[in-house]
Amino acid sequence: MTNTVPVTTWYLEQTAPDDLTPARIPDKTSGIRIMRVGTPSPEFNRFLYTSVGADVTWTDRLPWTYAQWREFLERPGVETWVAYAHGTPAGFIELDGATAEGTTEITYFGLLPAFRGHGIGGHLLSYGTARAWELAGRWEEEKLPEVKRVWVHTLSKDGPYARGNYERRGFRVYRVDEDREPDVTHPGLWPGAGPRH
């Protein structure tokens, strides 16, 4: 018999661009720059996914093949925005505007452990959410409809500040699920990796 653990899932949404409450923009000396990944790259996205999610039980995409990553990333309306700190990838936000018409889902968002706690997350989430609302304008040739809703879900097994960060940016909880999930061992951090203080 598989061990299970209780998991709470919060679903949060914004229903208008004005719902977004921007975070403080880091000053120029922070070296923070956010850029969109221009060419879909399964290798790069898998690196981001495994590096950010190693200690917060992101395991659902670990079995994905290269072809599955490529198929997902090449869909019109899927975008990855990366925060760089002095040229080093610090975190990312992945947007999916290809699954539900007029809706953008923030499928993944987070920072590599060494960059947590330095004010980058709020800025990246603000920036990425603003890009989620504008997504259709970047995909005019594909005729994606105007975005009417941006949503995200977070789980109790995610980082302890995830839900609060979403709520500070203007997301509202619209559904809560309580469930039990298999007690999966996450890969864990690379020995020696973690927050820098």
Per-residue model confidence (pLDDT) at position 7: 87
**93 bridge partner residues:** 81, 109
**13, 149 in Cβ contact below 8 A?**
yes
**Residue 125 and residue 127: Cα distance in Å, rounded?**
5
**Residue 183 and residue 181: Cα distance in Å, rounded?**
6
Helix (H/G/I), strand (E/B), else coil: 14: strand
Per-residue model confidence (pLDDT) at position 4: 80
Per-residue model confidence (pLDDT) at position 192: 59
pLDDT profile of the chain (197 residues), mean per 10: 83 98 90 96 96 86 94 97 97 96 96 91 97 96 96 87 93 94 63 57
